Chain A
Amino acid sequence: MKLNLDRIMILDGAIGTEIYKRGLDPTAIPEELNLTNPEIVKDVHASYVDAGADIITTNTFGGNRIKLQSKGLEKKLYEINKKGAEIAKEASQGKALVAGSIGPLGRMIEPLGELSFEEAVEIFKEQGRALLDGGADLFLVETAIDIMEVKAAILGLREISEKTPIICSLTFTEGSSTVTGTSPSTGAVTLNSWKVDILGANCGNDPFVFPEIIGEMAEYTETPIIAYPNAGPPDRWDEVPPERFLELAIDIYKRGANILGGCCGTTPLHIRFLSRELKGRKPAKRQKRIGIFFTSRSKLLTCDGSRTIIIGERINPTSRKKLANELKEGKLETLKKDAIEQEIAGADLIDLNVGVADVNRRELMKKATIELLKILNAPISFDSDDPEVIEAGLRFYPGKALLNSTTAKKESLRRTLPIARKYGASIIGLTITEEGIPETITERLKAAYRIIEEASSYGIPKEEVIIDPLTLPAGSANPSITLEVIRRLSQDGIRTVLGISNISHGLPSRAIINASFLSMAINAGLSFAIINPLRNELMGAILASDFLIGRDKRGERFISFFSLTKEEPKTKEQELTLKDLVIRGEAERASREAERLIRERIQPFSLIEDHVIPALEEVGDRYEKKIFFLPQLIASAEAAQAVFEVVRKNSPKAEKKKGRILMATVEGDLHDLGKKIVGLVLESFGYEIIDLGKDVPADRVLKETIRFKPDIVGLSCLMTTMLENMKKTVRLLKENLPEVRVMLGGAAVNANFARRCGADAFSRDPFQAVELAKRWIDNEKGKRIHDLQGNAHARGIPRRGNGA
């Protein structure tokens, strides 16, 4: 029996559920049966062979050290796995291949968990060795929920046997991704780059999403695909009868699967149905997408020529003192900040270069990689002239990366290409030979083809090689040589990349030269550009060039990028009134417009009366109707305050506030963002806010009320457990200062509670607070409600001066 994927092969069905049917105690460990009751296990295998399975899986799913340790069986690891393979081998009678089942470890690998990657590799090796010794024909790494764990398994298993085929099967729990965020397409590209022999999916929540999953995988790989769904969702495993399961399998087959079988809940009868109908059929035709792909754990980057791919160049300590110094000290703050900023600015890949002197660069690369994995979505381009430094990063990378860079020098190729092959990375090859940078077009092309040919001899196809024909300073070399090399390579279907900034070295107006050269290179066919994506002129050159040469066909990318970042045209700005600007929450423009109006001799106060207040009223109205949400409310309040500032500057009288409101979050409660928002909105309506902060004891609220003599005290409380403190605060205020108006707010409060505890009102949101303030302050203008200090004194509370 051989693995022949020119025809459809059939995998067996569920092992666990079949063993349970034969009387296994649900609390027992299925793997232990290999030693204690091998006949039961053998019987299950035999039933699947009899049903027509071409491949049967060993009863060793949980046979790794971590899982066995938790059951006190770690000392029997070797026996359990070896015996598991032997039983299956015996049951197969030569009619089926034996796949050594390797399930998840039960612990997450760093940085997601605490298990070290290398320890995981060792654990997989341990299990794999025992399975091989028992006679397993192939390895089945199944039900994988974390792509990094799969990587550890592949590396470990390859280290014990180069030749034994490896099948990797991911579980897409939520349909669209694994638990750790890898989608079917991303998983397919990644596993393909790691050179597994067969990849696919098993288990999962809903078997009926499998055709879609397999279809998506098939678009991104030519590697054979395996699919074995459950016979129903997790809580209804027996739901899908064999007839219906066959229909599902036929659907999956049509989407491109090469091996079909069943997971939880499937029985020998299910497999018999598949075998009768599908076994030996020619696989359905598949059409892989054209392009070169890169992945991170959760992102797929497709480079299919439809746009220039941007590689962010910022993480490179060359001529960046601050970054270099930080890296020397092992600090990664700037590195992380740069990575995120570049991704936000539009970098498709992030170049990672930690090349500083006098440090262990391998350790630093590993550390930087792990840190970036926590924060980045974009795939990484590992950049170093030392292949060992690159390997230190690649080993911990849960996706398909770019290796930057190798040269055409024999030694460089000899050291770099095996690493690229081992970890499945694409490479950037610089056209530098032993003699240096070739001066002529022919020589540079020769260097490029030397890299491509050599890569090919290592099994790295030319599609995965990106040539950098090098940018030399325009002042000392002829840039047209580089451009011509790009043109010729592009015509030959070879991808090219350039770092740009060297072109303008030593010249004035560097930005203009860089952008112009970039545009020319794109016109010549450049596929990747290594740039600083935070430089608008370079991003502009790329987007405009892509648009003009027809890569960005309808200019959608160009338009969407610039419509997000561009300023509104000037004419439009003048059309917007101050009121409009406050409603739109554009603080800076509102401030400029207020200045302009004052210069035109408009009375400062009328800006508030005629523009700000009506604008805020309208914002309140829209907020009430839910047309606006909270951020718009805040943005408008901030814009209103910007106008207040201008008015204040231009009119000393404007210093006078409409009234004073003291606010506090009650003792024990640490949440005060909501209260701050209410304060901001009240302030934007012209009230003075004194914010005592959070966790404020009742007696302090009273003391400060006496000190500041506010018109209103606003108390907030988010925690239900702190409502008692709110009651206490209200009681203390009302006992000592019965005239003071108290309004309450916060998630834990409602109108009934406010009434019960003696407060004057409850405010649901910032605008209700404004309404209350208007009612209590504006409508009673001129009439001072009370003399707080006097009242307090009368009750024996010590009088305090303003400075107290």
Chain B
Amino acid sequence: MSFDIFLRNIPIRIKTDEVRRYLGEYRGITVVPERINAIIKKLSAISRAFINASASSRAFKIALWSEDGVETEAMSLPGRDISKLLKEASEVIFCATTIGSRLEKKINELLEEKRTLEAMILDAIGSTAADTAMDYLNNLLKAEATRRRLTLTRRYSPGYGDLPLSIQGNLLRASGGDKLGIKVSPSYTLIPKKSVTAVIGVMKI
């Protein structure tokens, strides 16, 4: 495995406690009725038919570091926060994951049928799945780093701190996310919606 990864059909396992957290459950306070829990479980299972998770990542060397931003071989990363994160890094991995657009279509269908409860739960399942796909990719990268006696920074996405959303297009191209079918709207929303991009720094131990 290298840091350049292209994966389709990632086997996503939906953690229902994570879905409940997305839906606003406060552990130990919220009393989740079994009926709702059963719907969450059922939809989590059914959602597998609508989720097609894929991931892509590519690594590039850092060409220039300054306090206001980082230049890599592939693109610029403006902002002081990202500079701080990548201060010790020698390489940057650009990552993108998506679960495809079928789940989104199903949510819209449910909304049109006024089945808001199911739509909302499915939406939370979609968010959980998108995170899980990114965790999956992150774990692969971590395993590779381990083998190469390297370590990774935490992952950072456009919109965090002062890293602008306007880099989404470049980030998709650099990560290979465009090959996964992810696009960016003029307002920098990722399409399909349940997609995630991220930046991870690679450091020597």
Contact = CB atoms under 8 A, between A and B. Distances in A.
B151 interface: yes
B121 A631 contact: yes
A111 B9 contact: yes
B66 interface: no
B117 A635 contact: yes
B205 A669 contact: no
A171 interface: yes
B9 A112 contact: yes
A113 B13 contact: no
Nearest to A371: B9
A626 B28 CA distance: 10
A275 B13 CA distance: 42
Given A344-B45, A670-B185, A721-B188, 10 more contacts: A112-B10, A112-B11, A173-B146, A264-B146, A344-B46, A373-B9, A628-B30, A638-B117, A671-B193, A676-B116
Q: Can you list the 10 inter-chain pairs with the closest CB atoms, starting with the nearest?
A: A668-B187, A234-B146, A111-B9, A629-B24, A375-B48, A634-B117, A626-B26, A630-B24, A344-B45, A626-B29
A673 B24 contact: no
Contacts of A236: 205
Contact of A629 (B25, B119, B188): B25
B64 interface: no
A261 to B, nearest CB: 17
Indicate the member of B11, B121, B151, B193 with the most A CB atoms within 10 Å: B11
Size category of the binding interface on chain A: 35 or more
A297 B205 contact: no
B88 to A, nearest CB: 12
Interface string B115-148: 0110111010000000000001001101101110
Nearest to A679: B116
B149 A627 contact: no
A301 interface: no
A143 B147 CA distance: 9
A635 B30 contact: no
A490 interface: no
A701 B200 CA distance: 41
A203 B36 contact: no
Interface in B90-114: 107, 111
A564 B38 contact: yes
A383 interface: no
Given A627-B31, A635-B36, A171 B143 contact: yes
B33 to A, nearest CB: 7
Contact of A344 (B42, B116, B143): B42
Contacts of B46: 340, 344
A108 B55 CA distance: 12
Contacts of B119: 673, 676
10 contacts: A114-B6, A205-B146, A235-B151, A298-B11, A344-B45, A377-B13, A563-B34, A634-B120, A673-B119, A680-B116
Nearest to A234: B146
Given A17-B149, A235-B205, A629-B24, A104 B1 contact: yes
Nearest to A297: B11
Contact of B49 (A70, A336, A671, A721): A336
A568 to B, nearest CB: 10
Contact of B187 (A114, A634, A677, A721): A721
B63 interface: no
Interface stretch (A93-101, A174-182, A474-482, A753-761): A174-182
Contacts of A143: 147
A112 B13 contact: no
Nearest to B141: A179
A584 B33 CA distance: 9
A63 B111 CA distance: 53
A298 B13 contact: yes
B187 A722 contact: yes
